Amino acid sequence: MKLISTNICKTSDIGVNDNLFGGRMLSWLDEAGGIMASQVCKSTNVITLKIDEVLFLRPVKVKEQIRIYGKLDRIGNTSISLHLEARRNCVEENTEAVVCSTKMIFVHIGEDGRPKKIKIS
């Protein structure tokens, strides 16, 4: 899988149980997926169509660094499917553990907001 982005869990990201708020994680995944989708489509005009089942496997605490990795599953005519993983990076030991995973679909759109064919060179 390819590293897309790294986020740090701040106190402002914490929910009601001293863990990272799930909505924040979804935002990080959506942003990272959008970055990867735009690189594949060679266009910033990509839009989130679908987020599959999201598994929050382990809690994330303040100060932990979360790396978002992506893998291209499929390129269609106008859409692409990605597998995304969020991994906690232990900087002291340089180890990683998956904390969250999902699959997402992004659609390449034209200026009119309608699906547009992805050009692959």
Residues at the site binding ligand COA, with contacts judged by CB under 6 A: 47-50, 76-79, 105, 107, 109, 115
C-alpha 113/C-alpha 12 separation (Å) is 34
Nearer to ligand COA, 9 or 105 (CB): 105
Closest CA to 46 of 31, 61, 60: 31
Nearer to ligand COA, 73 or 95 (CB): 73
Nearer to ligand COA, 10 or 117 (CB): 117
> Smallest gap, in angstroms, from Cβ of residue 97 to ligand COA?
29
Structure-block tokens of residue 82 = 């990605």
Kindly give the pairing relationship between strand 55-56 and strand 65-75: unpaired
